[in-house]
């Protein structure tokens, strides 16, 4: 039972000191938009309303934003500041000339106190463009918004286990024969 004591102590200590455990002023919201390679837009902009204040964020795909790989078709932007549970977002696309086109508008959940990752994919439907919310793979910082990455990794892991258990069965049979 002796090793249980440190674990329980950790639980109690963290409970007693937990009131100041989350920082209210350094939430980071990373936003990524995937743009088709032959789209008509030369720039993307997000309009974010957070805690009653409107922010305009010009997205980048030139490597100047943290975690951005230049010219990979994933446009990145970052907003940091006071903790917010919900933000409202509008995504605009800019052509070479002319006014911005609204591609998406909606309310997004940003409840994690430390870091939130939001993703959109710009799609072409009926000769027009629209953006949809899409989940991003974890951990972030990958070149593609590869939703099924954990699933594919899972099957690889499953194959490894199959081989390992198969080896154990074979060894057990050899042991039985001896």
CB of 57 to another protein, least distance (A): 16
CB of 38 to another protein, least distance (A): 26
CB of 93 to another protein, least distance (A): 19
Contacts (Cβ under 8 Å, ≥6 apart) of 95:
40, 41, 42, 101
User: Closer CB to another protein, residue 70 or residue 154?
Assistant: 154
CB of 172 to another protein, least distance (A): 4
Write 107-114 long-range contacts (CB < 8 A, 24+): 108/133, 109/85, 110/27, 110/29, 110/84, 110/85, 110/86, 111/85, 112/27, 113/22, 113/23, 113/24, 113/27, 113/83, 114/23, 114/26, 114/27, 114/28
Binding site for another protein (CB under 8 A): 1, 3-4, 7, 10-11, 14-15, 17-22, 24, 49-52, 82-88, 105, 107, 109, 111-114, 133-139, 147-148, 150-151, 153-155, 157-158, 161-162, 164-166, 168-169, 171-173, 175-176
User: Closer CB to another protein, residue 11 or residue 40?
Assistant: 11
User: Closer CB to another protein, residue 62 or residue 105?
Assistant: 105
Between CA 109 and CA 118 the distance in angstroms is 9
């Amino acid at each position: 039972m002796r090793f249980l004591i440190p674990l329980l102590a950790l639980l109690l200590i963290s409970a007693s000191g937990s009131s100041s455990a989350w920082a209210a002023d350094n939430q980071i919201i990373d936003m990524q938009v995937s743009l088709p390679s032959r789209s008509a837009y030369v720039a993307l902009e997000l309009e974010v309303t957070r805690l009653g204040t409107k922010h305009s964020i010009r997205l980048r795909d030139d490597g100047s934003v943290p975690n951005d790989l230049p010219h990979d078709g994933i446009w990145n932007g970052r907003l940091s500041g006071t903790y917010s549970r919900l933000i409202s977002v509008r995504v605009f696309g800019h052509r070479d000339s002319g006014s911005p086109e609204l591609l998406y508008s909606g309310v997004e959940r940003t409840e994690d106190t430390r870091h939130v990752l939001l993703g959109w994919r710009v799609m072409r439907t009926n000769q027009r463009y629209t953006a949809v919310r899409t989940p991003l793979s974890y951990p972030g910082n990958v070149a593609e918004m590869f939703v099924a990455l954990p699933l594919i990794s899972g099957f690889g892991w499953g194959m490894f286990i199959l081989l390992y258990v198969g080896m154990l069965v074979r060894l057990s049979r050899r042991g039985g024969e001896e």
